[in-house]
Amino acid sequence: MFFYIETLGCKVNQYESAAIAELLRGNGHIEVQKSEPRDVSIVNTCAVTGDASRQSRQTARRLRREFPDAKLVICGCASQIEPDAARELGADLVAGAGDKRGLVGEIERLIDENSLRHAARDTSLREGGLPPSPRGVSAEPTGGAFEPLPSASIAGRTRAMLKIQDGCDNFCSYCVIPYARGRVRSLPVAAIADEAKSLASQGFAEIVLTGIEICSYGRDLDSETLIDAIRAAASAAPTARLRLGSLEPSCVTDEFVTALAAIPNLCDHFHLSLQSGSDGVLKRMRRKYGTAEFFAALKRLRTAYPNCGVTADVIAGFPGETDAEHAETVAFLERCAFSAAHVFPYSKRPGTPAAAMENQLPNAVKKARAAELRAVAAATGAAFAASQVGRVLEVLFEREADGGSVGHSSNYLEVRVLNAGIRGKTLAVSVAKAVIERPLDGTLINT
């Protein structure tokens, strides 16, 4: 069987797509490129916003149109909460956000001529374990224990992802992910160590610990904590550098940062989940912190890691956001001086409390506010990049381009050198100049 996977959404989705591909390849099937003929097209969908669901549907339609003879499989968060919408796209198989090993078996049965009459199965898990789904959300979440999957050794890359946690218990007012992913489940520390050791032995120079909400790691375990998980991965893979996924400010305590600082191969880059710089908006979002707590977490990290890169996510134009609240977010981004920020206009997610809130803002207002916030993030990112000139950064080179090599520093700046043939190597690089080539997406350092 020839198969192709297209992935939307977060690093967890990327990890799980890589794991599905690994399972299929292990059974003798062949992964093809985007433009190549295939027997099966797989779309791993995202539902974090209404726009993400729309993009997932567009992707499925495009693949059905471009490869009409291929079976269409739709899985992931969007099809978990909206399986009927996935079936209406003409999918031959609809699966949810869990049981990836079971999905692989379903795909193999789908292409068996003797079982083609069973097409359009629905393998979404419906195990409950959460409050009733909000109106408009049609599927119940995945549940049960953490599902071990093969290490996400993405072909052609020098870094790998290690998923240590799934699920979310936060129930933010704009988000359906707890309904798509279910309650918190964690990969035990011993298994994390085994996976990290395996990835390092395969030659990966960087391991990214990822999950839906990794600060909740261990809530379902007897005594294991996120620090235990990080220490286990770092000790098991001492030749690889370790990078963390998104952190909630509430877990970035003095004790947590002190413990991090004692881990020698941990990258000095941290992604803090912000969403808004207005306390009023954060309260309506049902976030579990305010701006004072967030800034205290930021200060702790920068005290322990003076040259660290700190990135964040921000939602512009949340329902009811006033001009004054938007101005508070602008000022807070300037104060935080992130090395980069991902800014998104609020996108209504049907079925969430935020979608039913009054004072939904016009798209033009949301886009204008997002553009203003991106401009602030671009300015602070440029200042951070400029501050690196003259410094020596540890860079893992991941690809070759324009006769040179490109990689990321430990504090997550993109670095380019003229040397070719150093892909996969981690080298100390003296930064000669900063060039802002993509001001809305990140910073590129030229050396």
Residue 370 backbone phi and psi in degrees, to 5? -60, -40
The domain ranges of the chain are 2-122, 271-387, 392-446
Q: Which residues of 293-314 are buried (b: 16+ CB within 10 A; e: fewer)?
A: bbeebbebbbebbeebbbbbeb
Q: What pLDDT score was predicted for residue 307?
A: 97
pLDDT of residue 128 exceeding 60, the answer is no
Whole-number mean pLDDT of the chain? 87
Q: Is the pLDDT of residue 335 over 90?
A: yes
- Is it the case that residue 143 has pLDDT exceeding 60? no
Q: What angle do CA 24, 29, 35 make, to 5 degrees?
A: 100
* Alpha carbon distance 77, 100 (integer Å): 12
Tokens representing 44 are 């791993």
Q: Rounded to 5 degrees, what angle do the CA atoms 21, 24, 27 make?
A: 150
Element (H, E) at 394: strand 392-401
The pLDDT value given to residue 445: 36
Give the pLDDT score at 134. Answer: 46
**CATH code for the domain defined by 271-387:** 3.30.750.200
* Highest mean pLDDT of the ranges 103-107, 179-183, 315-319: 315-319
What residue type is 138 in one-letter code?
S
Which helix (H) or strand (E) segment is 415 a member of? strand 414-417
- The CATH class for the domain spanning 2-122 reads alpha beta
Rounded to whole angstroms, the Cα distance separating 439 from 340 reads 9
Question: pLDDT band for position 144 (50/70/90)?
Answer: low
Q: For the chain, how many helices (H) and strands (E)? A: 13, 19
Q: How many CB atoms lie within 10 A of CB 353?
A: 17
Instruction: Please state the pTM of the whole predicted model.
Output: 0.81
Is the separation of the CB atoms in 207 and 240 below 8 Å? yes
